[in-house]
A and B are shown apart, each in its own frame.
Chain A
């Protein structure tokens, strides 16, 4: 991988994020050669995808089924009045392409099932789980663990967000935390500001992992409780008997 893999235009675009405490030029090149799966294009998936595209990821696989509706616009940073009633991921992908011509965007207009999630996870280097239900999150978790790629799980409720970063075979996976699928409420309340905060932090973790910069937050749960004004981190315990990751060896 050579620094010359970045064109003059690309180096100019990313000039403000190459330097101490950010990305090395080598890291920027690694990011260009990397791909991420973001599922879905919701309150957190949108800002996560946007931040990855702005940062210069090589390829973004963006999955979501369904159209953009008016109640989505309190948190859909990639949405607009103009997009109402249109397929969300198609509209959002256009916005992303307009944001950065150096990034390839692959739009998938449905929620991947088990087989497709695994096939997609095998084509990327990190999976961002930004899905509304635990069933979908656990599916993406299984796919990432099976494919041996890190999983970043971003979740929200009200003014609260959580972020979990999984290194398969080394740190706790989602199934370790939730051996029984938790109950889920369809019409949960959420304030867009927390969606954007957690989605952006999910992208930051992905950028660190892909570029090899900084220290990814593997094995921890970050809790941002905006309602009560509390931020905390929890060291997660891996379940040695986890039926998803228990037999998994650490990544090389």
Chain B
């Protein structure tokens, strides 16, 4: 299956390194996608903030540090949002 990956929030330099699409085996889960993504980014010397919010197709599942298990479907959108503050 293929899922879309969106990175938003702080650290746009990291955005450029995040692939827009991720190819995963059927039956893949959110955990698989995050593992693939983090391995891919680690190869480029990039680490995502553990406080990144994680959402799949508009549903919030936690942070990179702690999130719910979630099965993925072809066409899902994985959103990683590096927390934004700023007053």
A-B contact pairs, 13 of them (CB 8 A): A137-B85, A155-B83, A162-B9, A177-B63, A178-B51, A180-B51, A180-B65, A182-B49, A182-B51, A183-B51, A225-B8, A234-B55, A237-B62
CA distance A72 to B78 in the complex (A): 35
Q: What A residues does B62 contact at CB under 8 A? A: 237
Query: Which chain B residues numbered 42 to 63 have a C-beta less than 8 Å away from chain A?
Result: 49-51, 53, 55, 58-63
Interface residues on A, range: 35 or more
Q: Measured between C-beta atoms, what is the minimum distance from A127 to chain B in Å?
A: 14
**Of listed A45, A172, A184, residue having the most chain B CB within 10 A:** A184
A158 at the B interface (CB under 8 A): yes
Total interface residues on B, CB under 8 Å, equals: 27
Query: Which chain A residues numbered 157 to 177 have a C-beta less than 8 Å away from chain B?
Result: 157-158, 160-162, 172, 177
Q: Measured between C-beta atoms, what is the minimum distance from B8 to chain A in Å?
A: 5
**Given A182-B49, A223-B8, A225-B8, are A43 and B87 neighbors across the interface (CB < 8 Å)?**
yes
A-B residue pairs, 8 tightest by C-beta: A132-B87, A42-B87, A182-B51, A182-B83, A155-B84, A156-B86, A157-B84, A234-B55
A235-B60 in contact (CB<8A): yes
A133-B85 in contact (CB<8A): yes
**Given A182-B49, A237-B68, are A155 and B86 neighbors across the interface (CB < 8 Å)?**
yes
B15-A228 in contact (CB<8A): yes
A230 at the B interface (CB under 8 A): yes
CA distance A221 to B61 in the complex (A): 13
**Given A160-B9, A188-B10, A232-B58, are A179 and B86 neighbors across the interface (CB < 8 Å)?**
no
Query: Which chain A residues numbered 162 to 217 have a C-beta less than 8 Å away from chain B?
Result: 162, 172, 177-180, 182-185, 188, 190
CA distance A212 to B12 in the complex (A): 39
Q: What A residues does B81 contact at CB under 8 A? A: 162, 221, 223, 234
B40 at the A interface (CB under 8 A): no
A73 at the B interface (CB under 8 A): no
Q: What A residues does B34 contact at CB under 8 A? A: none
CA distance A235 to B62 in the complex (A): 11
A236 at the B interface (CB under 8 A): yes
Query: Which chain B residues numbered 22 to 46 have a C-beta less than 8 Å away from chain A?
Result: none
A17 at the B interface (CB under 8 A): no
Q: Measured between C-beta atoms, what is the minimum distance from B12 to chain A in Å?
A: 6
Closest to B86 in A: A156
Q: What A residues does B63 contact at CB under 8 A? A: 177-180
Q: What A residues does B10 contact at CB under 8 A? A: 157-158, 185, 188
Query: Given A131, A177, A180, which contacts B87 in the complex, CB threshold below 8 Å?
Result: A131
A57 at the B interface (CB under 8 A): no
A142 at the B interface (CB under 8 A): no
Query: Given A132, A155, A228, which contacts B8 in the complex, CB threshold below 8 Å?
Result: A228
Q: Measured between C-beta atoms, what is the minimum distance from A130 to chain B in Å?
A: 5
CA distance A132 to B8 in the complex (A): 18
Q: What B residues does A232 contact at CB under 8 A? A: 6, 58, 79
A233 at the B interface (CB under 8 A): yes
CA distance A155 to B8 in the complex (A): 13
CA distance A40 to B59 in the complex (A): 30
